[in-house]
Amino acid sequence: MKFSPKTLLVAASLPFIMTACASNGGGVKKVTAQDLQHHNWELVSIDGEKIPSNEQQKRPRLEIGEKLMANGNAGCNNFFGQAELKDHQFRIEKMGMTMKMCIGESMGLEQTFSQTLSQWSDITLTKDTLVLSNDSHTLTFELKDWKK
């Protein structure tokens, strides 16, 4: 059998590609419940678009407590639910939410935020960043633990 140079290059590169995909380089690691618990995360962007923050409009936040109990603010309304972590994915099942009337852009932000949290999303965690990504949206959070 005769192989083309392109085929040989792909075959020779395969072990390196597989190793790179399997490694946890760049500070990224498999996320566990213990990694998420007792932290407060502030939403800084959706699909790469920065979320502004000012006195009138606080950024949405996600707090994960004991036994993965989740709560926070979606931009206007508060939410709560049971977070789940399975096969490198995250969601909040059966999310409950207050029903305040939201105006302007906050309603769209809140809907995107809550829908993404309640669907299974790939989860990536670094020292200061949490990223949830699914087919619809990517939510990027920064660690903003409460000060004692």
For the chain, give every domain's residue range.
Answer: 30-143
Q: What pLDDT sits at residue 102?
A: 82
Local confidence band at 101 (pLDDT 50, 70, 90 cut-offs): confident
Q: What pLDDT sits at residue 147?
A: 67
| CATH of 30-143 given 3.20.20.150, 3.60.40.10, 2.40.128.270, 3.90.1150.10 | 2.40.128.270
Question: In the beta sheet, which residues pair with residue 63?
Answer: 40, 71
Q: What pLDDT sits at residue 50?
A: 94
Q: Which residues contact 20 (CB under 8 A, 6 or more apart)?
A: none
Q: What pLDDT sits at residue 98?
A: 95
Q: What pLDDT sits at residue 23?
A: 40
Mean pLDDT of 73-86: 95
Q: Which residue has the higher pLDDT, 26 or 137?
A: 137
Q: What pLDDT sits at residue 31?
A: 92
Shortest CA distance to 112 belongs to which of 37, 46, 29, 19? 46
